[in-house]
Each structure stands twice: as C-alpha cells, then as structure tokens.
Structure 1
Amino acid sequence: MLNNKLIYFLFKITFLFSLTTIPLIVNGNCIVDFPGNSNLNYSSVCNSTNGNVEIGRNIPLSDGDSFTFDSPSTISIGGIIKIFAAGNGKIIIPEGVTVVVQGNLQIETAGGGCESGAACNFEFIVDGFLIVDGNLQNKATSLIWTGTGIVDILSNFDNTNSGCMECGATCPEFINHNRCNDINSTCSNNFCELQYGKSAFKGVDNLAPKFDYCPSDLIFYTDDNSCTALATWPDPQASDNSGTVTISDPSIPKGQNLAPGTYTVNYTATDGSGNKATCSFNFEVIDNVSPSTTFCPEDIIRYGAQTVQWTEPKFSDNCEITTIQKSHTPGSLFDIGSTTVTYTAKDKNGNQTTCSFKVVVQEENGPEITFCPDNIILDADQNCESFASWDLPTANMIEGIPPKSNYTPGQLFQLGSTNVVYEFIDITGKSYCSFDVIIIDNDPPVYSNIPKDTLIKTTKSTLAYSWEEPIATDNCEFNEYSTHKPGDIFPEGITTVSYTATDNSGNETTVSFNVTIKTNHPPVIKKDTIELEYSERLEVCPTINDPDGDIINIKSSKILLGEGSLGDLLQDGTCLEFYPNSDAAALYEILIEVCDNGTPQTCSQGVFFVKIPEQVKFKEAVIPYKIFTPDNDSYNDVWVIENIESYPNNHVTIYDRWGRVIYDANGYNNVDVVFDGSNINSSLGGSEIPTGTYFFNIVLNGNQKLQGYVELLR
C-alpha cells in the first residue's frame, strides 16, 4: 500500500530531481523539502533567513519527518511560516528558543494526507516561545500541541476547512488577543473553548457588518446672513451577525457650518472579528442667496441735453460680491429722451441682482435761466439725514408767474440723491432749473463687545462653543453677516470667527476672533518585546510616547503573564523595576497605564512583553555576596564574589543608581583585585562611596553575563 509520501511523489513528479535536503533560498526566503525520513534544523538549512519560511512546500513532512527551530535563541521571521503536512511529522521549538513570526503561521495539507479521510497526527512541540504577529491558521485534521512553552497569537487563532486541534500529554500555555475559532463541528473537542474559555466562539466570522441605514446624498443651502450652511444628518445604523458592531465617527464631523462646496462623508462599521463595512455619501453646500440692493436711485428727470450725476447703487451679499457691471457711469452725457441705466451685481457663487433706473431728458423752450444752483453734497448726520439750503434760481421772465418747485431751502433730505426742480413759465413757454441734493455717509459701522480669542483644551476632536455676539451700530441702516453662530461645532485647531457689517453706502467693518480647540491626545504604548539578561532586579523601559509632546509617566502596572513583581518607577516615571521570580527562560506580559501632564489629562492602557532568554550555565556557581561592610574591622571589608577565581577571564563593573561607573576591573579575584568601597571615578568626588545600593555587571569568558545589586553599609 502506498504511503502518503509516495502518493505525494506521484503528484510532484516534476520535483524528483530535487531529492536532496539542500534548501532553496530565494530573495531571503527559505524553502525546505523532505525527500526521505529527514530531521532538519533551522540553523543548518535556512541560514538565518528573515523572509518567508516554507517547510515542505515541494516535498511535505510525513511520517518520521521533523523540523527544529534550534538556533539562534531568537529567530525572527519577517514574513510568513507555511508548513505542508502529509503525515505524522513534527515541528519543534526547544526550550530557550523564541520564534517570532511577523506574518501568518499556516499549517497546510499536502498530497492528500492530513485531510478528511486521510487523518494524521501532526505534532507541534513548543518548549520555548512561539509569537505570531498575524493569524495562525490550521487545515490539518489533527494538529496536536505538546510541550511546556508559550504560544502567543497576536491576531486570530483559527481552524479552517476540516482542521482540528487538541493538546497532547502536555500542552503549551496559549495567549490569544483576538478570536479563537473552531469551524469544524466534527472535531472531538472544542479547542478554543478549552484553552480560552466560553468567551471564544465557534465558527469563523467572515461576514462584514451591514449598514441598515446610510444617508442619501444631501443638499444644504446657506443662511441669508452667512456664507455657510449647518450640515447635519441622521446617524447611520448598522447591524452584524455577531450582534456587536461599532460605528466610527464620521470623516467630517456633523453639526459644522461649512462653506459652499461638495463634501464626502465616510463611516466605518467594524465587528468583533475585524470585518468592516463602509457607509459613504456626499452632500453639497449651495449658496442660492442673491445679492440684495441696499440702495437704487429713483428715475432722474433733466431738461436739455447734459451730463448727469447720480449716487451709484449699493449691494450686499451673504457671500462675497465679485463683480458689478454697469451700463453707464455718473457724469455721462444724456441726449433728449429716456435712457435706462442698469447695474448688475454678482457674487462669487454666480447669484446676481439688478438695479435699474431711468434718466429722462426733456426739451425746454421758455424763459432764459440766469442762475441755477450746482449740485449740493452734504454729510449725513447721526440720523442718516441732513438739512439743505441754497440760493433761489432766477430767470428772465416776460409776464411770467412765480416759479414752482418740489423742494424749498431748509428742508430735511434723506441719504442719497434727491433731484430739486424749479419750473419757470412765461408767455414764451416753460424752462426748468434742476440740481441734486446728495446726502452721503462716510462713517462705517462700529462694533462693540467683541469677543476675545478663546483657547479650549479638551480630549475631544470637535467641540460646540458659544459666545456673546458683538454689537454693531451705525448712523444709517446696515446688514450684518457672520461666518459662525454661537453653539456651532468647532474642529481641532484654530478657527477664525468673523462678523461683517455693511451699511447702505457700502461702508464696511469686519471684526474677528479665534476659537482654538486644543485636543490632548492620549499617550501611545508600543506593543513590543524587550529582551533582557536575567538579573534579580531589572530596569524595564517600554516604548511610550505622547503625540503632543507632553510629559508622560506610568501610573499603574500589572503582570498579566509570568511570575514576578514590579517595584518603583524609574527614569522620570517611564521605566519600571522588575523582579522575576526565577532565572529560567520566560516570557512576561505586563499591562501599564500611562498618563500625560496635558490639560485635561489623558491616559491609555497597553501591554508589552519582557523576554528572559535561557541563562548560560556556569561550570561552577558564581555567587556575588549581597552585602559588605568596608569599615576596616577586618570582617567583610571587601565585596566577595564566590568562585570568581574559577573564571580568571572576567570583567566586573559597578554602577551607582544614576548609571555612573564607580568600579571597573579585569581579573577580579577577591584578593588583590577586589572592590573595597573606594571610588575610582574622581569626578564624583570623595574616595569612599557612601552607604547605598549599587548595581553590578559581571562578564565571564567574554560572553557569560551576571547582573544584580549589592548593598554597601558603612
């Protein structure tokens, strides 16, 4: 009967020429094959590659085959590990070795073996550490975990297809940060539930959440008195088969006053398995407010062809007026007849308004006008008006009657241009004297109660803010526009709020103030692994930083994995004292809470790992004494390192708590090369160091290290 390996050879006949244990290494990747009963090691076949590792890709592991990750002590795989199983093979991670996989770890089936109907017992022996940054995916019908080490899966831990997992006589400790799934209901046990408890659920969730409601595209129109529109919409609604879904904040915060333009809003719904769905819609802010005419002249009547003056029309708009087109300008010559004068104002969004009036020039045939006043120009008073007086016009009359007029000297005139007409009638006919009384306003509106710049410190990215609005006053009527209103939502950063008042003469005043939203972002804790040589006391410094550059410190700490204790904070509160309970190789998981000194204060929690590698075993125990008392009583006056003489090639360094070297020597022997409490660092002052705790580093034979502390008592 053909075994699994021979069957696989028949499938892979094109690879028969590769019947060798020499691996194929291409572009940093390592491909290892098993042509016979092979027991291969990582150090000999992969040459410390840090790319992808494919074990048995062309010729898979079968009965009697094994692959051992033997050295170095930390093996970092920058890509994925893919294992092809066709029989009862083994993957081995021995004690003292840590394998870190940046990508996924996949156990595939090959050659018809380890699949439904061709069961196998493929063994994964972990006595060291296995850390997988991506997913672990198993397709083998029976993957058996054995060993006493630790398996840490940072993403998802899944059985797929017909895959099943179980533990052997021993079982590593499993750490799972996301989900663990048993999809195959025919498995003899629920591995995830046994290893991780009831919180692990059965079945892979590949279904993305569904948005039950996502807003359609929207249109918002600007306010009459502002070049912005309040953009708000109903919140989207989402559901998921798991029953739990989280909807992100919108890419554009709703409730803001926004300028004309087109905007895209995105929401993301995420379930507990990391599946995502997107709700996206557009909205447009449209300015449909035409400029308003604050002043438009009345029809003008003149007698005899002449140049005609007038006060030009005035316009205002909620947005900026960019052009004013005119058919005639003041001072133009007008002949006998009626002429329409047109002004057209357009804003920056294409809205327009027209002001039209007529200039009517009539013929005259009557007495000669001997005096007619020139146009009269006066400044408006506090009531936007003014009294006007003039000398009476005269004419050579022949049997005429007293002239008639529509206005008399001393009357009150309103803002703008008013045409005054005198009619002279005698036996020759009618003649006219006309002139304009023009009341002008050169005084712009005045603002009071102007808010000061405001700085708001918060932990939010947007915030509603209200203020007491500024007050505008003017001697004439005016229109007022603002970019924002009290209660508007402001984004992070500096926003300028402006108020503009424009009177009927076009005089304009703008005031502004800044609203600054300063968001204090929480500290960031990097989830990394710190490798340290064993010592009774270790100084552990996780990678933490603050996006805003605030001073940060560790507020609390807790060991989640491993046996040990945590001590005082060090290095301005960014490092910890750590006391492992054993010198054995171990992986520790530590939870910390880090806070900043920003306003308001923000804190965040995160984990990091401390790895203690396997210690070099000394041929004879080297035991540094914990205490010595250099008081010249001939008893315990020097620091004794028991059995140090067995290692004449040694180097001993002692530091104070600030990391300064106070003793440094080669060939320490407890006799003439020995620490007696004297200070070799003259820059620190004094020949004798004071009572205290000091830290040592002992190197034996150039590569064996021993660290710890010693108490000096005087």
Structure 2
Amino acid sequence: SLFYPAQVSPGTYTFKYTINGLCSGTDEAIITLNIDDTIKPVITTCAVPRDVVGCSTNAITSPVYSDVVANSSYAEFTNTTNQGDVSDNCSANADLTVTYIDTVSGTCPIVVTRIWTIADESGNSETCTQTIKLTDTTDPTFVEALPADATVECDAIPTAVTLTATDNCGTATVTFNETSTEVAGACANYTITRTWTATDLCGNDIVHTQTITVQDTTDPTFVEALPADATVECDAVPTAATLTATDNCGTATVTFNEISTEVAGACANYTITRTWTATDHCGNDIVHTQTITVQDTTDPTFVEALPADLVLECTDVVSTAPVLTAIDNCSTATVIYNEQRINGSCASNYQLIRTWTATDACGNETSHIQIIDVQDTTPPVFTGELPVDGFADCDNIPVAPTVTATDDCGNVTITLDEQRVDGDCSNRYELIRTWTATDDCNNSSTYVQTITLACHIEVFNALSPNGDYSNDVFTLEGIECYPNNTVEIYNRWGVKVFETSNYDNINNAFKGYSDGRSTISRNEKLPTGTYFYILKYEYSYDGVNGKQNIEKAGYLYIQNN
C-alpha cells in the first residue's frame, strides 16, 4: 500500500513490513517515520484599515482595544468588520490561534496600529498589521441662547453678547467678528453683521450669524405738554402755545398753523384748528392738532342778591317778590318772573314757588327758584289745670279728668289712652294716662299722668291639703308685696296652731299642719274644721310711700280627709 504524509497530522508513525520470498522464505522490517509541520499559516488578506468615529479607543470594537496581547478568533479576524483571510496547510481554520496587540499614536485623528498574530497547531505563526483611525466629526455646541436677528432703532443697538461653546471630545474656542454698512453722515439706516465661530481641537466648527437692521423710524417727540382740545367761552380763547421737539437720532424743527371758522357778526359759536408739525432730518414727523370750540354757553348772571328759600309758620307774613336784573358775558339779558302756589295736606300748609328766568341773546338762560313753605308745625298747647302724678288704692282709682288745648292755626281734637303697667309684685301696678291733642295739620302734643296703685291682700279662706296642687296652701294673694307681715291661726278652742312672719305662700306658708302646741302634736295634719286667722302686714304704694299697718282677721276652713 501507499502512504501519503501530507494527508496526516504531524507526529511519529511506525510501519512494519513483512516480505515473503518465493525461495528464501519470510522476512520482516520495521520503519519509524517522523512527520513535521514547518510551514507558517498564509495570510492572504490582513484585516482592512478601519475608520471609527469617536473620541477615544473605547470606541473600537470587534475586538476591543488592548495594549497587551489579547485573544481573538478566526471568525472575528474574517468577519465583515475586519475582512481578513488566512489559511494553513495542516491546521483547520477553527484550530488556528488568533491574537492581537494595539499601539496608539496621534490626537486628531487617533491612530491605532493593531498587529494580528495567527499560529497553527505546530506553533508556526504569521503576523500582519491593521490601521484603525479614530476621528472626531462632531461640531461644537454653543452654550448660551443665540442672539436672533433684530431690527432696532439707531439709538437702541444691543451690545454683542459673549458666547461660549462645548465639545463632545474636548474644549472649543469662540471667535467673534462684526461688520457694518453704516455710512458716516447719512441717515441712520444700515446693517450690522455679527458672526460667532466655535472651533474644536479637531477643526470641527459651527457658525452663528446675527443680522441687525438699524433704522431711524422714530418720530420726533414734543418737549412741552401738548395743548388739549378745549371748549371755551367767546371771551376766554387761549393764546397758542410755543412747542419744541427732540429726536432720537438728531434735531427736529416745529412749524405752526392756525385756521378759524369764525363769521363776523354771528353768534360766537365757531372752531379754531391749531396744528404743530415736528420733523427730523430723516423725514420722520409728528403732528399735534388742537381743536378749540368757541361758544357762548355761559348763562347770564343775576345782579342782586338772590332771595333764599323760606320756611314760614302759618302765622308769619309772606313778603312781596323782589325785582331781579341780570348781566351776560357776551350780550344783554332779560328777566321774567313767575309765581305758583301748591296747596298742602291741610289748609295751613301750602308752597309758593317763585321763579326768575334770565335769558341772553344766544338763548342761554339761568333760573333762580325761591321756595316758600308755609306750614303749621306748631303743636297744640294744653290749657287749664292738668292732672298730676300720684298714688292710689286699687279700690279708689281717681276718674280721668277732661283736659283742654288750643292751636294757633286751626281746631284741636283731644284723645285719652290709659295703659296698665305691672309692678314688681302682683298687687302693685301703674296706670299711665296719655292725653293727645292734635290739630288740623296733624301736629300733636301729649300729656302723661302716672298713678301708682297698690292693692290690699286678698284672703282665700279654704284649703284642702291633699297634694292635688289645688288649695293645698292657705293663699294670701299679694302677700309677696308686703314681706313685713305676720300670720296666726287658731282652732275653735282658741289654741294657736300656726304662727309665722314673712309669709310668702310658697316656702313659708300654712299647709294644714300644726307647728306644735301643748294640745296638738307638731307636724301633724290638722283635723277638718273651722279655724280663725289673724293677718297683719305693713301696706305701702311702692315700699316707701303711703305706709299703713293693716290687720285682717276671719275664719278659715280646712278639709283634711
């Protein structure tokens, strides 16, 4: 058989041969064969040069940057990124060992030199070099807000702003330039072009341009307060004011003109139009117009003192109307007089309206009105002897007397009203008597009499103390008005069964029980029967006036079942 060393892997191989001769018999031979691989892998195409956008070696991939020997693979060396091609006479592609190491140089761009090493299984190796460029292609960015184009007045050109910039891979510098189309001595209409250029370390730059259109479109300004439109009387036309003006970019001149619609001999109603025009050297102008309406709207004026309004009583004398005259600012005036009477609510109440009207030649007029109110505001007056305030017993109330009254301007009607006002206890009250005198015009006067009344105690001489809240107590109506009192109760044998002072019908009261005597047990209910009471109290109208010592005695019946 045949042996082909190229078809096996490197190594030591032993072959045994047996030879059979036709005449001499059999013979054997042993052969040892060593096969070596000394041929390097063949790099047909090294990894292609690459351009990578970035600021540092961190941007490199497939494989990543490494400044020490690093492992890769046949697949990574030959992928679409690197596009390398390699083969070996003995080793399969997958069995090849692929390593690389990077070195870096430069700044813009950054150049990475990558040395690839490819070794076969016998250690035979080949190298190739790949170049990778790292490039910064990003322009810087302005930091501040960019100034916009503007159209400004010649006296309001903005100051150029200071701009700064940043860059993704380092620093950036900003340069500024300004050009102007201004022509000295010409009207201030021109253009300013401002340019800011930001440049990074790799020469990437960005430019911002601002165009400022400078112009003079501002009208001059009047210096003085402008005369306003006015409506004036024919005898008060104002003198025309002298106006001056200033301009934002130069000087200004002022011209004046006046037109009047006055017609000689006519009533003084006409118009004056005054015009001031301020113009600057660029032709901008401002106009102020004042319209003066001249007219005669002033009413005539009375010469004499004007009669004032009057309020008279029906007994007063109404004076004769005075004669008034008038003057006018632009012509003569005539005066007409009129008087009107308006009756009131009664015969003594009425109103006189006196009117003087002064009229000038232009129909302007002024009136004066005097109002004389004639009225009866005086109330009637009581006459004769009037009843006085006093005190009385409830059983002896004095009869209300008849009173009289008079009035200066009419008849009088008298009415009487009587009201009861309760006092501080049940047996005391007041009678308020009010006489009202009213005349025909409803004026009235009043007279009041107050009678203070006090009633004697009323004795309820029967009780049935059975707890039904009816007649359970010996009731002395009005006793609370006279606290300075005593009460004594005796049975039919003359034995005192109850005695107290300051009797009050509630807490200190006789309720059918004995208060203790030799023949009667204390706090025992008294037997049904007839008893005898003695009541003593100090009577007065109001606790001060009319004091009297009163004693009442009588029979008291007790029903105790």
Specify the TM-score bucket, using the shorter chain as the normaliser: under 0.3
The normalised TM-score by structure 2 is 0.26
The normalised TM-score by structure 1 is 0.21
Larger radius of gyration: 2
